[in-house]
């Protein structure tokens, strides 16, 4: 966990909720830190996948939080972020990545056609990170939606 997040007073609404189960939170944070800070996916692709996942799960907290991250840490424009939320991109590869997110959401797998297209630019580790990013953020969206965690601009 980043040092500035270790102070529970500044940890935000999500972390303040999750600490109600310290053992679970500790176990899950290692995975979450990998997805956000150690993933082999380029940050732009990671954020596109997270934004689309958040939108598909109707998770306001995740969607708004990652709009902030995408704007601060990638070259994604507001228009590109808006399009990605709707599953669209002017870039053919990014469109394929967004299709992969939709496929995972709809059928829990990526089609052979989409996998082949993604494999042209992503290596095995990146493909695995994509799947685990979508899965991990789907899990977080389910939790945040169930717990009623709403976005508060924490910056």
Domain, as residue range, for 54: 12-147
Domain of 49, CATH number, reads 1.20.1290.10
In this prediction the pTM is 0.89
The answer as to whether 3 is a domain residue is no
The answer as to whether 75 is a domain residue is yes
pLDDT of residue 7: 47
pLDDT of residue 8: 52
CA distances 41 to 19, 46, 75, 111, 118, Å, are 28, 6, 15, 19, 12
The answer as to whether 154 is a domain residue is no
Give yes or no for a contact between 102 and 95, defined as CB atoms under 8 angstroms apart: no
Whole-number Å distance between alpha carbons of 4 and 75: 24
The answer as to whether 26 is a domain residue is yes
pLDDT < 50 positions in the chain: 1-7, 155
The answer as to whether 111 is a domain residue is yes
- Side-chain-side CA neighbours of 45 within 13 Å: the count stands at 23
* Count of C-beta atoms within a 10 Å radius of residue 18: 22
pLDDT of residue 2: 46
The answer as to whether 70 is a domain residue is yes
The domain tally of the chain equals: 1
The answer as to whether 139 is a domain residue is yes
The answer as to whether 7 is a domain residue is no
pLDDT-above-90 percentage for the chain: 75
The 8-class DSSP code of residue 3 comes to: G
Whole-number Å distance between alpha carbons of 140 and 149: 11
């Amino acid at each position: 966990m980043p040092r500035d997040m270790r102070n529970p007073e500044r940890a935000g609404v999500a972390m303040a909720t999750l600490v109600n189960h310290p053992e679970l939170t500790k176990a899950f944070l290692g995975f979450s830190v990998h997805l956000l800070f150690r993933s082999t996916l380029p940050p732009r692709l990671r954020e596109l996948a997270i934004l689309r996942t958040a939108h598909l799960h109707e998770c306001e907290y995740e969607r708004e939080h990652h709009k902030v991250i995408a704007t601060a840490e990638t070259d994604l424009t507001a228009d590109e972020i808006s399009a990605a939320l709707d599953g669209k991109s002017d870039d053919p590869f990014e469109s394929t990545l967004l299709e992969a997110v939709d496929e995972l959401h709809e059928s829990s797998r990526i089609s052979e056609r989409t996998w082949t297209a993604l494999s042209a630019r992503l290596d095995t580790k990146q493909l695995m990170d994509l799947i685990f990013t979508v899965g991990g953020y789907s899990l977080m969206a389910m939790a945040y939606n169930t717990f009623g965690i709403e976005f508060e601009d924490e910056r």
